Amino acid sequence: MSETKELLAKVSGASTDNEYFLPLPKGYQKGKTRYVIVTGTVMSGLGKGIFSSCLAKLLQDKGLKVEPIKMEGYLNIDSGTLNPFRHGEVFVLDDGMECDMDLGTYERMLDKNLSRANFTTSGQIYRAVLDKERHGDYLGRDVQMIPHVTGEVKMKLRTLAMQSKADVVFVEIGGTVGDLENAFYIEAMRELAYEEGPNSCCFVALTYILEPNALGEQKSKAAQLGIKQLMQMGIQPDIIACRAENPVTVQARQKMSVFGNIPFERVFSMHDSASIYSIPAMLRDCGLDFEVIRMLRIEDRVNLRRERREWERWCDFTDKIGNEKRDITIAITGKYTSVRDSYASILHALEHSGIHLGCKVRIKWIDTSDLTDATAAEALKEVDGIIVPGGFGTRGMEGKIACIRYARMNNLPYLGLCLGFQAAVIEFARNVCGLEGANSTEIDQNCANPVIDILPEQKKIEGLGGNMRLGGRDVELKKDTLAWKMFGGKETARMRFRHRYEVDPRYIPDLEKGGLVFSGKAPNQPIMQILELPGHPYFIGTQAHPELTGRPINPHPMFVGLVAAGRNYRYPGENFPDAITTIQALRKELEPNQ
């Protein structure tokens, strides 16, 4: 063992005797877990999470244990306060962590629940370092970006690797290489590769190949400069993924190969695709998955029999893409309709359901800011179903209520999510139960009938420091209801929540007397979580966010039901089975693969 390796083996934390700083979780074995590190150049938003999750899926199919982690440069502790106009939807994990929408991509592609260990921000890293400094953990050393902040990043990765027993950890660094706030992440990855040793890390640079309409050809200079900047930071990419509108030409890939010192076969064309679910096949066809396995020298961990089985299962799903025989239109009403990423999980949940049912789902975006009862009918006249999604604030609320009233009175399939659940309660209270002035105290603090409110006794029951219910909770289902049948006749269902307001229990008897059924509630608590309207083809709302747990291979039944009901609404003469029969048939079809 060299002198350097001996020193690294001895140093496990802060020391005043030398300059090595190697914080390791107790029991961690260097070199056991490998790392795939994905960075971006040229611009953000190109699909680092999509590439990383697709590659991770291919390795997972081979029997390898994979764990993703997204590292964001912003100083927020989590994504909970970020405006959807600026950052897209907030994705909530089962443990309540509010995080980046890329975590949703990982959960869907890997078909697994993630936790707060799979997400971090600069704010989290800095807070952890400063907490340690206050506790004297650095033995009087001046605390610096290097080695202490970079050391905290490596500690985060190694802790995830050890606790998950992962063969490969996929590290996605948000933004681009040139972002100032990401510099310490890049440096930490350079240090990680040095400390873990040869064949421990695979670096992927995702870049963008320009194709100006005025020129009519692809230009790679911006991509070359981005790769050069990464190399100046001490990192030699092993793979370059080239995003482009059209397939990247051989000449452009050759240039990237030469200027990036990368074998040509490791320069991948990640051009626009009809569905992100076809990208694993693109990666597999060019052998990029086995290139990574060979680079990391983990060939002995591959289970080819499992790979064949899993790939066949995946292809059963992707072969249906583009072969839909019917099409329907679902309206999504909200105030973030100009930014599609605000509703990314809803769009994916509809896509999954439509693919399985052979039905192309088209979206009509409806801004409810100025919608009224008089104009709602015109806005909804060509749609086959409606979703009122979650949201906060007053703008557009009355327009959403108008849409719900139209759906209820005209047998238009309806799915209410979070705020859509609350709006359905308000609409029913006003127009069926005759509760004049019914509203939410979020909208009108002085309303005559606050059917939706923040209840102090519920907060006391929850025992939470704040007033937001976050993460996965069990929902108790009422027997023989639509929800009970939808979830296979189970007593409870696991769903994810992100909300502050509840149905006031004082109004539940009046609402139920009017005909509204609360088919799901919190166990042992008067917190209503699912509602439905008997006699309506499909009218259901939930205080939860079922879109967060929809998966390609296992679509969420609430969305399957909406698409099935929308298909029946659009094609009434074709005698399609009703929503519940469709859900049950699909569950039976998919069960052998679960």
Q: What positions carry a catalytic annotation?
A: 418, 545, 547
Q: Nearest CA to 537 among 420, 401, 386? A: 386
What are the structure tokens assigned to 21, written together? 């700083």
145 phi/psi in degrees, rounded to 5: -60, -45
Evaluate the omega torsion of the peptide bond into residue 147 and state whether it is cis, within 30 degrees of 0. yes
How far apart are the C-alpha atoms of 362 and 357, rounded to whole Å? 14
86, 256, 328, 334 from 338: Cα distances, Å: 11, 35, 21, 10
Residue 94 and residue 495: Cα distance in Å, rounded?
A: 8
Strand 34-40 and strand 168-173: pairing? parallel
56: CB partners within 8 A, 6+ apart: 36, 66, 68, 106, 109, 110, 168, 170
- Phi first, then psi, for residue 568 (nearest 5°) are -65, -35
Beta bridge partners of 503: 452
Contacts of 160 (CB under 8 A, 6+ apart): 67, 69, 117, 118, 166, 169
188, containing H or E segment: helix 183-196
Virtual torsion, Cα 400, 403, 407, 413, nearest 10 deg:
-60
Which residues face 331 on adjacent strands?
364, 386
Residue 341's Cβ-count burial label (10 Å; 0-12, 13-18, 19+) is middle
In this structure, are residues 450 and 504 in contact, taking their beta carbons and an 8 Å threshold?
A: yes
Q: Which tokens sit at 43?
A: 């611009």
What is the residue whose two structure tokens read 């890293």?
A: 125
Both tokens of residue 576? Answer: 């399609």
Task: Give the C-alpha separation, 2 to 313, whole Å.
Answer: 48
Cα–Cα distance measured from residue 311 to residue 536, given in angstroms and rounded to the nearest whole number:
40
Asked whether 184 and 144 are in contact (CB, 8 A), the reply is no
Per DSSP, the three-state class of 213 is coil
One-letter amino acid identity for 180? Answer: L
H or E segment to which residue 293 belongs: helix 288-296
Cα separation values, 392 from 130, 188, 384, 397, 548, Å: 33, 38, 26, 10, 18
Amino acid at 332: I
